[in-house]
Amino acid sequence: MNIKKIGLTALAASLVSVSAANAGSMTISGAASVGIGGYSGEKHNAGSSFTMGNQFTVSGGGELDNGMNVSLSYQLDNKAGVTGPFDDHSITISSDEIGTIKFSGHGGSSATSAMDATAAGDIWDGFDGSIGGVTGFTIGASGGTNNSVYYTAPSLMDGLTLNASYNPQGSQAESETGYGVTYTGVEGLTLKYATMDENTGTTGTSGDQTAWHIGYALGPVTLEVTNNDYDMGTATNDKETSSYELSYTVSDELSIAYGTEEIDEGNTSTDAEYSALVVTYTAGGMTLTGKMEEAENVNGTTNSSADFEYWFLGAAFAF
């Protein structure tokens, strides 16, 4: 559902001081999903369970007399961990001369978190909780969440984009800065690299994060490879995640993908390994997804109790 209102000067005035002659627009968009899935393993067979997601986003803005564009976005979501009705929210200021500056009150990105999802789509995230009495690996924070700034510079040349991020943290830990570059100047090729400070207030868990991404599309086939490396003050706190995914677009509606992930934690001798086969079908604003996932050594041991499988069927709707 889209709602537009021309002349929304109240919204424009809440962003910056402008004349009443400036016109703005407001849009409301929504998303909902429902699914069913289940885990199985040597010590875990919990059957199946339903999941549901729902949210909508209010956004608006317009162009000022000086040529700058200002927009405001608020996401309304009642998911766990969100205080009050609002989830992600931000203000974005942009122009051809200054580039784009995004101020995020919640849900912001850093130079690395903007690209640190694995090529296979973060399979590990479904196995990082306590499943069957076994707690799986997790990936550390990468800055750029609440009260952060993300900057994208004006284009320097075709296909080359530079960005930077800043995450102030107050007296508990030093602020975090990050820098990144993206190149898409060759048809079908995407190259990304970023680095970010990691400051927790503790020497052993502070350091830096680097992430890179290589993607190449040739006709209906796309190959993506990613790497995400945390180098901490204490070597046993280091983490490295490597991943690849090979996808095939059967038609405009149907696609199939297979991907893997491997997590190397500094305090274990055995890597956690994940794989997933995903089939998606899109028709209009509806996307149907089916997937089979497998996880081995999720806690860094070779115990058979640390191996699991997961299946999922779901439908997502955008309106």
> 169 falls in which pLDDT band (50, 70, 90)?
confident
Longest pairwise C-alpha distance within the chain:
68
Q: What are 254-308's pLDDT values in tens digits? A: 999 999 999 999 888 899 999 999 999 999 889 999 999 999 999 999 999 899 9
Cα 62 from Cα 19, distance rounded (Å):
12
How many residues comprise the chain?
319
Q: What are 221-264's pLDDT values in tens digits? A: 999 999 999 999 999 889 999 999 999 999 999 999 999 999 99
- Tell me: pLDDT of 4 over 50: no
Residue 7: the pLDDT is: 35
Domains of the chain (ranges, CATH numbers): 9-318 (2.40.160.10)
Cα 146 from Cα 126, distance rounded (Å):
24
- What amino acid is encoded at 310 in this protein? Y
Percent of the chain with pLDDT over 90: 56
SS3 string of the chain?
A: CCCCCCCCHHHHHHHCCCCCCCCCEEEEEEEEEEEEEEEEECCEECCCEEEEEEEEEEEEEEECCCCCEEEEEEEECCCCCCCCCEEEEEEEEEECCCEEEEEEEECCCCCCCCCCCCCCCCHHHHCCCEECCEECCCCCCCCCCCCEEEEECCCCECCEEEEEEEECCCCCCCCEEEEEEEECCCCCEEEEEEEEEECCCCHHHCEEEEEEEEEEEECCEEEEEEEEEEEECCHHHCEEEEEEEEEEECCCCEEEEEEEEEEEECCCCCCEEEEEEEEEEEECCEEEEEEEEEEECCCCCCCHHHCEEEEEEEEEEEC
| Non-local CB neighbours of 254 within 8 Å, separated by 6+ positions | 279, 280, 281
Q: What are 188-221's pLDDT values in tens digits? A: 999 999 999 988 888 898 899 999 999 999 999 9
Residue 141: the pLDDT is: 61
Tokens of 6: 């021309």
Tokens of 153: 């510079």
